[in-house]
Amino acid sequence: MRLSILAFVVVPGMALLTGCGGGSGGSDAVAPIAPPSPLSGVISIEANSRVDQDTMDQLGLDGAIPAPGTQRLPENFVLAGYVSGSGGTYPANQSACQPLFYSADSNDTYTVPLAPGETLVLQSFGSCLGDPELELQLDSLPVKTATIGSSVVLANFTEARDYRVTITNRSDVPARYILAKTVSMTSNGLSFEWPDYEFAEDRALITVEGDQGAQMALASMQGIAPRHLGGESWLLTRTAPASRITNANQRKQETLNWIRNLRQKPGFAQVQPDYLFSSQQAGTPINEPFYPRQWHYGLINGPAAWQLVHGGGAGVNVAVLDTGILRLNSGQWHPDLDANIIAGWDFVDNDNNPADPGNSIGGDVFHGTHEAGTIGAVINGDGIGGVAFGSGIVPVRVLGEGGTGSASDLIEAINWVVNEGQVDVVNMSLGGLPEISQLESVLQKGVERDVLFVAAAGNSSTSVKSYPAASPYVLAVSAVDGAGNLAGYSNFGSWIDLAAPGGDASRDGNLDGSSDVVWSSSGELTATGPRAGYLGLQGTSMASPHVAGVLALMKEESPDLNHAQVIQALRNGELTDYNGSRSDALGYGVIDAAKAVSAASSTFEQTVLSASPAVVSLSSEGQDQQRVDLNVFGNDAISGVSVSSLPAWLSVTTDNLDSRPYSLTLALLRDRLVAGEAAKGTIEISYSVNGSAETLSIPAIGQLISDQEARNAGRHFVLLVNTEPDARGLYLAESQVVVDAESGQYPFRFEFDDGEEPRRLSEVRPGDYYLVAGTDHDGDGLICQPGEACAEYPVSGLREVITIEDGQSLSDIRMTTSFSRPTISTSNPDILPRPGFKGYRLLQPDQAPSTNDGVKAVQ
């Protein structure tokens, strides 16, 4: 889609800079008005962003030297920095290098407030000169080393205080780095590198146009092995690749070229790569031993739901499409799952034993076992229990080594689940796929047979759609922390249906003194075989099974419940803590198990009063007031509802406590909070059921946040670049503006080309461009590399062409810059991956934009 500039607009709030000295303004002075701009706007900065005070953006200035002393960081931050053991010049003989000077800055020192339950993460990125190791030291403790492609994690702090953190580069090779307290602690969490969709070489997913078309198209192809996936979907494998290329990137490109050629053949409605996907890792009845750790069940009103539905999902079967389930040498499954397991299938090894073998490389988390435990772990007085502890679990293995799988296996697995006819709910804690027509077809088939699908939204902190969650036939679940706030890693967007607890290891959102991880069944591989255990994890993978479990509880009460009914109830606010306004972060709200089972049934044995939302979390930067609905579940009379206790930093308006429906509104009293310090308290509601006194306790959290104006991601270069890369894979700038942060954002404006020479870098000529912005922390003349901030219009990862026409203007362009990178997804099934992206190349003042071939200088 192209954005054409069609209106003449004078940009408000953009005044010309005037010289200093001489004369007073006077009361009658008229502020100068900026001339029209072809393109202007504001770049917002992601929350908690900070920058090292002596990156090459600063050191490149005349006379600049590395900053002395220490830099103090706030309570929460994601900071980007630069270190180099010596100065030098980047070589000009490599495609990713320009002959630019870089300065010595061997170490950076910070003062960081850390406390028990918090974590500190360092991730390093090399340059075209190589990949140096960085050293991370906390106070005088032993040094830890960060290598490229891995992170150093510091945790287990024994006391809350300021720590001295030093990052050192002892090599002669420059390096960029990210230091963070808010980064996701799982491999699928916040990413600082541009990802490409991984796909299988020499394989293609196709949708054929009817049986006759399939026979004709497939019969005409040689060197191809077809495999029917069900319906009109097929997997084609090249048995004789066209060449013997050994370079991996070139082989991938050859596969993409083959797919492009297949798209031209008659009889094929859709042709796509066989994308690889991965797990999205990033209560129980209260007498189970691990229940005190399972804060996430209280957040979804689990205890109230279990009082209403005593069978725990009895008679309902939930398929868990994942890594399989931990199986002991005895042949039994994990002891918290064994009694509920129903025969499934392994589509990775193509057999009837969907056991999780663990990973041959790296740690074992037994991802599928964790999801199955959240859904349906049994009540046995040992370990944990699940949301739907009485439901049947059908393990279906579609993820293999490292938690990855192929779209073809997923499609075949869903076909199997639907055709078997024994499954009511399907949980898919996996994702990262683009929209695939063959996948949509089998999901639609399942919905038509009253199967309910739930999937994890993804952990890339992006609004870009991730499938299967983004499918209209699936409930897309984002993740929240212990305070009910969107987790830092969680995806978001218009396609999110609802949210559930996924945890955030970097936060203690409910202020219970522990990281907000989700506890469930797991295990480990020992020398004698698998051993059952329990583990706390985070991710939208952990959020999705909460919703699947609640759907199982609903299905127990209403066996004929279908997808359309669930969607309608969701939009009516009957399944969540919905406040009347849908959001891109949480969809229609956080799942409320008590409300959901109440929506599915009208007859209950007990009467309880339940709050929605179950936890009240207010902040000065986010929501500073909250309506709380007090829902009555059951048939007995309730009376005497009143607020009996309230934290001092909250005010209450009793909207209606005299008769049903009961409600009240809570507001944050900012003057009673300390900036940067979270407060925790409890709201107590007194009431009577048939004359018996009861109390409802609602956890409350309040925060006075002062981050907005302090946000700074470093000096930004705003570019209009060519829409096609050069032979080296670089996108070359045609126009350029340099901006620094002002009150937590970057205002920018370009100028019309006046036709005079020399042409200024900020002047724009008519044409088609991409609008991008970012930092160049290591001074190599490229922005948007890993470890640097980046913004693309309109959304990072989904850039669109802007057409600038002579004499026309566009104002109020909005973008957001971030050190994190999106998972590049799209709802257009014809879009292929964007491999080989290296960055956007800067202009320099004495350089003609059409050549873009010199060295960079800072304006």
Question: Domain for residue 244, yes or no?
Answer: no
The confidence score (pLDDT) of residue 845 equals 53
The confidence score (pLDDT) of residue 679 equals 86
Of 706, 741, 756, at which residue does a domain stop? 706
Task: Taking residues 306-332, report their average pLDDT.
Answer: 91
Co-location of 508 and 433 in the same domain? yes
577 among known catalytic residues: no
The confidence score (pLDDT) of residue 636 equals 82
User: What is the SS3 assignment for 261-313?
Assistant: HHCCCCCEEEEEEEEEEEECCCCCCCCCCCHHHCHHHHHCCHHHHHHHCCCCC
The confidence score (pLDDT) of residue 651 equals 94
Centroid of chain to Cα 598: 31
| Residue 483 pLDDT exceeds 60 | yes
Question: Domain for residue 152, yes or no?
Answer: yes
Question: Domain for residue 268, yes or no?
Answer: no
The confidence score (pLDDT) of residue 106 equals 93
Task: Taking residues 618-638, report their average pLDDT.
Answer: 81
Question: Domain for residue 386, yes or no?
Answer: yes
Co-location of 373 and 463 in the same domain? yes
| Residue 464 pLDDT exceeds 60 | yes
User: Which contacts (CB < 8 Å, 24+ apart) does range 582-587 have?
Assistant: 584/463, 584/492, 584/493, 584/494, 584/496, 585/478, 585/486, 585/490, 585/492, 585/496, 585/499, 586/478, 586/480, 586/486, 586/496, 586/498, 586/499, 587/476, 587/478, 587/496, 587/497, 587/498, 587/499
The confidence score (pLDDT) of residue 556 equals 93
| Residue 469 pLDDT exceeds 90 | yes
* Tens digit of each residue's pLDDT (9 = 90 or more) over 70-109: 888 888 889 999 999 999 988 876 556 778 889 999 999 9
Kindly name the residue from 40, 541, 811, 820 that is annotated as catalytic.
541
Can you tell me the distance from the alpha carbon of 100 to that of 94, in angstroms, rounded to the nearest whole number?
12
Question: Domain for residue 681, yes or no?
Answer: yes
Burial (Cβ within 10 Å: 0-12, 13-18, ≥19) of residue 114: buried
* Tens digit of each residue's pLDDT (9 = 90 or more) over 728-738: 778 899 999 99
Of 538, 556, 591, at which residue does a domain stop? 591
Co-location of 692 and 742 in the same domain? no
Average pLDDT, the chain: 81
In 52-191, beta strands by DSSP E: 71-72, 78-83, 88-89, 101-102, 107-114, 120-125, 134-138, 144-146, 151-154, 161-168, 175-180
Co-location of 314 and 171 in the same domain? no
* Tens digit of each residue's pLDDT (9 = 90 or more) over 413-451: 999 999 999 999 999 999 988 888 899 999 999 999 999
The confidence score (pLDDT) of residue 650 equals 95
| Residue 740 pLDDT exceeds 60 | yes
| Residue 146 pLDDT exceeds 70 | yes
Can you tell me the distance from the alpha carbon of 235 to that of 216, in angstroms, rounded to the nearest whole number?
16
Closest to 405 in 3D by CA, of 277, 514, 518: 277
Question: Domain for residue 119, yes or no?
Answer: yes
Question: Domain for residue 237, yes or no?
Answer: no
Co-location of 747 and 612 in the same domain? no
Of 534, 564, 591, at which residue does a domain stop? 591
Indicate the residue type of 726: D
Co-location of 665 and 528 in the same domain? no
Co-location of 439 and 556 in the same domain? yes
User: Which tokens hold the place of 409?
Assistant: 């296996």
The confidence score (pLDDT) of residue 9 equals 25
Can you tell me the distance from the alpha carbon of 407 to that of 199, in angstroms, rounded to the nearest whole number?
9
520 among known catalytic residues: no
The confidence score (pLDDT) of residue 748 equals 94
Kindly name the residue from 296, 334, 367, 777 that is annotated as catalytic.
367
* Structural domains in the chain (count): 3
The confidence score (pLDDT) of residue 625 equals 87
Kindly name the residue from 57, 108, 202, 322 that is annotated as catalytic.
322
Co-location of 673 and 721 in the same domain? no
Can you tell me the distance from the alpha carbon of 17 to that of 106, in angstroms, rounded to the nearest whole number?
37
541 among known catalytic residues: yes
Co-location of 465 and 343 in the same domain? yes
Closest to 487 in 3D by CA, of 459, 467, 512, 513: 459
The domain that holds 325 is classified in CATH as 3.40.50.200
Co-location of 418 and 305 in the same domain? yes
* Tens digit of each residue's pLDDT (9 = 90 or more) over 262-286: 888 888 888 888 877 665 554 334 4
Question: Domain for residue 419, yes or no?
Answer: yes
Top mean pLDDT of 62-71, 313-322, 397-406 is at 313-322
The confidence score (pLDDT) of residue 253 equals 73
* 529 bridge partner residues: 526
| Residue 602 pLDDT exceeds 80 | no
| Residue 21 pLDDT exceeds 50 | no
- Residues 6+ away with beta carbon under 8 Å from 254: 241, 242, 243, 245
Q: Residue 71's domain spans which residues?
A: 49-190+709-841
Co-location of 629 and 748 in the same domain? no
Closest to 202 in 3D by CA, of 137, 254, 158, 245: 254
The domain that holds 675 is classified in CATH as 2.60.40.10
Co-location of 612 and 720 in the same domain? no
Top mean pLDDT of 213-222, 353-362, 543-552, 627-636 is at 543-552
- Residues 6+ away with beta carbon under 8 Å from 252: 199, 201, 835
